[in-house]
Structures are given as C-alpha cells and as structure tokens.
Amino acid sequence: MEQGNLERRRFVVYAAAVIAALLVGSSWLGDPGSSPSPPELSFADRGSAPSGPVADQGDDVVVHVTGQVRHPGVYRLPFGSRVTDAVDRAGGAGPDGDPDLINLAARLSDGQQVVVPASAAATAASSGPAAATATAVVDPAAPISLGSATALDLEQIDGIGPVTAAAIIEFRDSNGGIASIEQLDAVSGIGPTTLESLRNRLQP
C-alpha cells in the first residue's frame, strides 16, 4: 500500500516537471503566428535618394528684334541677356539704324519687342522735299502712334523735350511696348499735366 502511494507521488512529480518544461519552452519559442511585424521603414531607410535640383524652365527668353537691324526676326536668348545681345543676334544695326537711341543695357524679358530706330540723318534723308510738303498738310492734332513714334515725333507734343522723349522711347523698348498711355506715369519727368497732353496726342 505504501509502495503504491510512493509510485503515485513520483508520477505527479514527473507530470508536474513535464508540464513546467512545456510551459517554459512555449514561452521561450513564442507563438509563431503572432511574431511582431518589422517596424515600418522611414523614407530615408528605404534608400530613396533625395531628388536633385529641378531645372529652371525659364532659362531662355524669346524676343522679337525689328526695326533697323540686318536680320529682323524672333530670337531665343539666355535668361539675363541684354538688349545689346538681341541686336547682335539680329546681325547688328543696319546702315540706317542708330541703336544708341535705345537702352542697350536694359535686361530682356520674355516676349519683348526690341525696335532699333533709324538715325536722325537717315530719317531726314528719307523725308526729302516731298515728305516735307506732305507734313505741311498733315493735321498737327492727329494722334501719334506710341508703338512706332520716334523721339522727333514725341518732341512735337507740348511739354515734351528731347530728354523726356528719349525717356519715353527707352521705357517703351525696355517693357516690350506700351499698352496704355497711363503707363507713361512711371516715366521720370512726366507729371499729371504732361500725361494729360500725351493722352490727347498719343494712342497706344
């Protein structure tokens, strides 16, 4: 009887030891179905290299060079180019042109029109007696086209001298033309009274 009890005790001890071993093994191995997912990679961990600088799409300007140049036309020049670069690209001033009447140092803007006017000598030579006669019968109050007006044309307007006329031509050429007379308010030397005279004598 005593030996039977001893056998039962041994069986219980062995069973407890086996159960304990199973529990320890399960804890150490972990549940294979619930393994932790790897941490999400950051943008840098994925190996994505930072994108390089985006090329500026406005590196060039397109301008229209016309007037007294050897090869009038539309030209593409690097951003930052000056009016003198556009004139050179068009073959330079023609024999009757006078590029000094415009601001050759002005910076070009996209879509600008550069007009090289004729020299005073060329204008006088082309006028001749017939032109002088025709001028005598032209209505002096007729509006002058600002888009094609020369410095001499502007000087015919009361209050406009050579300096102001040259400033108006420079402003027009530097800004690719003038859409309205009110823009001339930005020209040095033109006040409200002069602007009113220009409004009556000029048209865009």
The CATH number given to whatever domain includes residue 195 is: 1.10.150.320
Domain boundary among 79, 99, 116: 116
Number of domains present in the structure of the chain: 2
Distance in angstroms (rounded) separating the CA atoms of residues 98 and 90: 14
54 domain-assigned: no
193 domain-assigned: yes
73 domain-assigned: yes
Residue with tokens 């068009």: 90
68 domain-assigned: yes
44 domain-assigned: no
The angle formed by the CA atoms of residues 66, 91 and 145, to the nearest 5 degrees, is 15
30 domain-assigned: no
Q: What is the pLDDT of residue 201?
A: 74
Contacts of 150 (CB under 8 A, 6+ apart): 117, 118, 123, 169
Least confidently predicted of 96-100, 135-139, 200-204 = 135-139
87 domain-assigned: yes
133 domain-assigned: no
Read off the pLDDT band of 194 (50, 70, 90): confident
Higher pLDDT, 142 or 59: 59
Q: Are residues 197 and 147 in the same domain?
A: yes
Q: Are residues 191 and 157 in the same domain?
A: yes
Q: What is the pLDDT of residues 27-49, one digit of tens each?
A: 545 555 555 554 444 433 443 33
Q: Which domain holds residue 71?
A: 60-116
Which amino acid is present at 152? L
